[in-house]
Structure 1
Amino acid sequence: MSEAPENAQPPAQFNPGSNRRTADEDRAWAQLYASVGQAATAEEVVKQLDADAEALRSHLALYLRAKTTLRERRVADARNQRIGAFVRSVVTIVVVGPFRVLRSLMSTGSDVAVEMLPPARRDPAKARVSTLTRDPEFAKAAERFTATADGASPIAGQHEESRGAKAA
């Protein structure tokens, strides 16, 4: 009574090379499924599976997980952009805004301050000096003065001329 059961399968051939290759392949697929949560890996998986329809049918779960990862990444990027825009606007309003207001007040304030100043007084001596320097008689008198200041004695005719001018 050594009959074999009807549904018994023949003993499998033991091939250590094929078992090892299958185990390595299974491990690689498991790592790929685990890393498809990263956007770069998901992009590559989608690109490869889009190119091969048979592989897409046999690894549909991997494809769907990769597509989900890419969609989540797009949503996160959009959210980050909105948050960044909000932070930039808050910083502009809170930090830069007061400086802009202060600058505009300072420019307006300086105009008001200049208008409030009393008018500048003209120095009468400056006007008199400019008039005298253009007068030819003053120029001659200034020459005589510098000549006597240098140690030279004035010419007799000039000395009398100045006394005559005083008497008149």
Structure 2
Amino acid sequence: MNKGSKIRLLTAGLCVGAAAAAFTPSTASGAGAVVARGGLVELNASGVHGQVTIIDQDGQLRVDLDAHNLEANGHLEHLHGFGDGTQAHCPDASLAGPDGILSFADGLPAYGPPVITFGHDEIAGSTLAYSRTFDQTMAGQPVSTLGAIHQYVVVVHGMTLPDGTYDETLPVACAVLTTR
């Protein structure tokens, strides 16, 4: 093996090792962290999709959200759940009202009330991506009072209704969180 091949092989090995380390929760988030992930699935035929990762560590939640195919407008993003150990889940179409639209209120039996508002974002394009850290719930309680993070879901809101009005609260995507 010549010197150039050895350097390329060493470089490739370092890149693979760095990539593996980047995806190891204990490396990415520190010891004692709980990492929850979920894929955003569309609601209300929105076409919205993406990923969310929440790292629960040292009394803080770090939220990494990456959502695509959103309308260029205002969007709310929340952590929803019941806070009593009941597993929140993403609503299905059977919860929609007589008009076939799943409203914020229609989804409450499935996902529960909002517990933390992650953002109220105006976007010009179709992608919303951020990393934000929270230490309190909407009620002013420490995030450590939430219990197991995997009992919650993340809901993204905001879409134009068939009548042409924009509803900032309409659920457009939901992610069930898992800690596997």
TM range (shorter): under 0.3
- Report the TM-score, using the length of structure 1 for normalisation: 0.21
Larger radius of gyration: 1
Q: Which has the higher strand share?
A: 2
Greater RCO, CA 8 A, separation 6+: 2
Q: Which has the higher helix share?
A: 1
- Report the TM-score, using the length of structure 2 for normalisation: 0.20
